[in-house]
């Protein structure tokens, strides 16, 4: 008896329900398909491809240690799975459930094609989320639109046990595989991109549970302190299990672990929104009937935002961190998004697209719905709040260290004065070496936004 395990956003061996189910007294084909539709849809950008290459190498290495190996194919995912199943005479295929419109379509197509050939598809929950989307719902709807009541119910759901990695994996002989992709073959990857793979993820997880998590509540907003877990790419590619992370964090006491688990619940929250409203990836979740500035008219502002030259140091620092690392601190993401959508009044989709071009953790649910949250078209209960980049910078980067790190033109400025370089006069201003003046007055941006939203 042979089972195929189709890996998608779950590139790990620990705590992997599909592999556990398939591996019981059977031969297994661990399969990854470089799905043409995903590659063509704009999600296959250099930073994520490079991280993915690391993940696949590590997964293959882990399988080889257990007597198996990873089989890689390219093409249409349904055709490739059917081919592999036919070649190995597999009677079942295991897959992790996922939430995007594409994941739903993939699941439906796979089920139809496999059943037509007399094979079964098993879709497993709680692989890519801690709590399955739809498992908790309010009385009057198929999903929660507000986080706090969701979190209350989410916290009460008993989680399944964490599964150990299999000791051995037996792969049938003679299954052909393509070569694994390699990071070296991918160009224009961000210089400071993190390393991928389950081995790296697990060593980070152990260090985090012993150390950083304790101070998370106090330090998660400290831009320069960089004191968050940086697990987001690992959660995106599934090299860490959300169930395992929640279970293990709950064994550590204190406000740090509690705050950390709450953030993991945010991840599940957005997934249950997207699962119920797949259209929210592109359409306003709650329309404010915005008439955003045209992309053409705002093109100079958009370019300044993308390249980190808005004249607002904290926004520019965040945008440069994004380009350099393929990752950005959450507080930076909030400030950069508020600035684009509210201060510049540019459509959130323009910003979300740019983030997806660079973010190693770029994720339809988290990116699009966080953008909508910040643009006020999503689930924020105060949709018209505007973050002031100067006040916020003074609060979350009080000494200016984050800005100094990413905006070298300002490195000679000391203390919080760095957040308002336009206030400098004379020679001090002249010494700033090519740092731009603000592209918009904050009061002007605010007035435009208030007037636009005032129509509602």
Binding residues vs ligand FAD (CB under 6 A): 220, 228-232, 235-236, 263-264, 266-267, 270, 330, 333-334, 337, 355, 359, 361-363, 366-367, 370-371, 374
Q: How far is the CB of 141 from ligand FAD (least distance, A)?
A: 20
Alpha-carbon span 87 to 227, nearest angstrom: 49
Q: What are phi and psi of 291, to 5 degrees?
A: -110, 80
CB atoms within 10 A of CB 178: 11
Closest to ligand FAD by CB, 16 vs 220, is: 220
- By beta-carbon proximity to ligand FAD, the closer residue of 119 and 331 is 331
Specify the residue, 171 or 359, whose C-beta has the smaller distance to ligand FAD: 359
Q: Which is nearer to ligand FAD, 93 or 360 (CB)?
A: 360
Cβ contact 43:362 at 8 Å: yes
Q: In the complex with ligand FAD, which residue's Cβ is closer, 68 or 389?
A: 389
CB of 288 to ligand FAD, least distance (A): 17
Strand ordering across the sheet containing 120-124: 71-75, 27-35, 2-7, 92-96, 120-124
Nearer to ligand FAD, 96 or 359 (CB): 359
Structure tokens at 353: 């697209």
The per-residue b/e assignment along 215-233, b for 16 or more CB within 10 angstroms, e otherwise, is ebbeebbbbbbebbbbbbb
Q: Which residue has the tokens 């590139």?
A: 11
Paired strand residues for 96:
124
Tokens of 40: 């063509």
Least distance to ligand FAD, CB of residue 339, Å: 11
Contact (Cβ atoms closer than 8 angstroms) between residue 229 and residue 208 = yes
Q: Which is nearer to ligand FAD, 266 or 396 (CB)?
A: 266
The continuous run of DSSP H or E covering 154 comes out as helix 147-155
In the complex, the smallest distance separating the C-beta of residue 375 from ligand FAD, rounded to whole angstroms, is: 9
In the complex, the smallest distance separating the C-beta of residue 327 from ligand FAD, rounded to whole angstroms, is 7
Sign of CA dihedral 389, 395, 399, 404: negative
Per the structure block, which two tokens stand in for 242?
């959300």
For residues 322 and 359, is the Cβ–Cβ distance under 8 A?
yes
Minimum CB distance to ligand FAD, residue 97 (Å)? 17
Rank residues 114 and 374 by Cβ distance to ligand FAD and give the closer one: 374
CB of 278 to ligand FAD, least distance (A): 16
Cα–Cα distance measured from residue 393 to residue 416, given in angstroms and rounded to the nearest whole number? 8
Max CA-CA distance within the chain?
A: 79
**Closer residue to ligand FAD in complex, CB, 269/435:** 269
Residues in contact with 140: Cβ distance below 8 Å, sequence separation at least 6, in sequence order:
none
Query: What end-to-end distance do the CA atoms of the chain give, in Å?
Result: 61
Q: List CB contacts of 191: < 8 A, sequence separation 6 or more.
A: 324, 325
Q: Smallest distance from the beta carbon of 87 to ligand FAD, in angstroms?
A: 36
Q: Smallest distance, Å, CB 232 to ligand FAD?
A: 3
Minimum distance from residue 169 beta carbon to ligand FAD (Å): 28
Complex with ligand FAD: residue 383 or 416, whichever CB lies closer? 383
């Amino acid at each position: 008896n042979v089972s195929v395990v189709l890996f998608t956003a779950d590139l790990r061996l620990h705590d992997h329900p599909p592999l556990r189910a398939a591996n019981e007294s059977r031969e297994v084909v661990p399969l990854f398909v470089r799905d043409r539709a995903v590659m063509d849809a704009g999600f296959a950008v250099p930073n994520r491809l490079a991280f993915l290459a690391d993940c696949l190498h590590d997964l293959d290495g882990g399988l080889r240690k257990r007597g198996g190996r990873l089989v890689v194919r390219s093409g249409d995912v349904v055709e490739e799975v059917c081919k592999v199943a036919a070649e190995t005479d597999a009677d079942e295929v295991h897959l992790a459930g996922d939430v995007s419109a594409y994941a739903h379509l993939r699941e439906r197509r796979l089920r139809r094609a496999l059943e037509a050939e007399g094979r079964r598809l098993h879709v497993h929950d709680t692989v890519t989320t801690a709590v399955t989307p739809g498992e908790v719902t309010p009385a009057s709807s198929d999903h929660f639109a507000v986080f706090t009541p969701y979190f209350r119910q989410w916290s009460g759901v008993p989680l399944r046990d964490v599964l150990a990695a299999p000791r051995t994996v037996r792969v049938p002989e003679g299954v052909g595989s393509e070569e694994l992709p390699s990071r070296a073959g991918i160009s224009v990857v961000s210089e400071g991109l993190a390393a991928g793979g389950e081995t790296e993820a697990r060593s980070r997880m152990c260090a985090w549970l012993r150390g950083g998590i304790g101070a998370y509540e106090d330090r998660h907003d400290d831009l320069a302190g960089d004191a968050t877990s940086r697990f987001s790419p690992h959660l995106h590619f599934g090299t860490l299990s959300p169930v395992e992370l929640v279970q293990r964090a709950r064994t550590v006491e204190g406000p740090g672990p509690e705050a950390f688990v709450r953030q993991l619940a945010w991840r599940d929250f957005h997934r249950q929104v997207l699962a119920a409203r797949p259209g929210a990836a592109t359409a306003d979740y709650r329309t404010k009937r915005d008439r955003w500035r045209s992309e053409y008219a705002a093109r100079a502002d958009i370019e300044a935002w993308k390249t980190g030259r808005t004249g607002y140091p904290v926004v520019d620092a965040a945008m440069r961190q994004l380009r350099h690392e393929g990752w950005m601190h959450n507080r930076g993401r909030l400030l950069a998004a508020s600035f684009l959508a509210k201060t510049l009044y540019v459509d959130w989709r323009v910003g979300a697209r740019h983030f997806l071009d660079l973010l190693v953790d770029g994720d339809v649910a988290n990116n699009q719905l966080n953008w909508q949250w910040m643009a006020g078209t999503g689930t924020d209960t105060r949709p018209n709040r505007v973050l002031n980049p100067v006040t916020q910078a003074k609060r979350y980067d009080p000494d200016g260290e984050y800005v100094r790190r990413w905006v070298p033109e300002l490195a000679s400025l000391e203390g919080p004065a760095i957040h308002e370089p336009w206030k400098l006069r004379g020679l001090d201003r002249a010494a700033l070496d090519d740092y731009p003046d603000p592209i918009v007055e904050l009061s002007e941006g605010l007035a435009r936004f208030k007037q636009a939203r005032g129509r509602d």
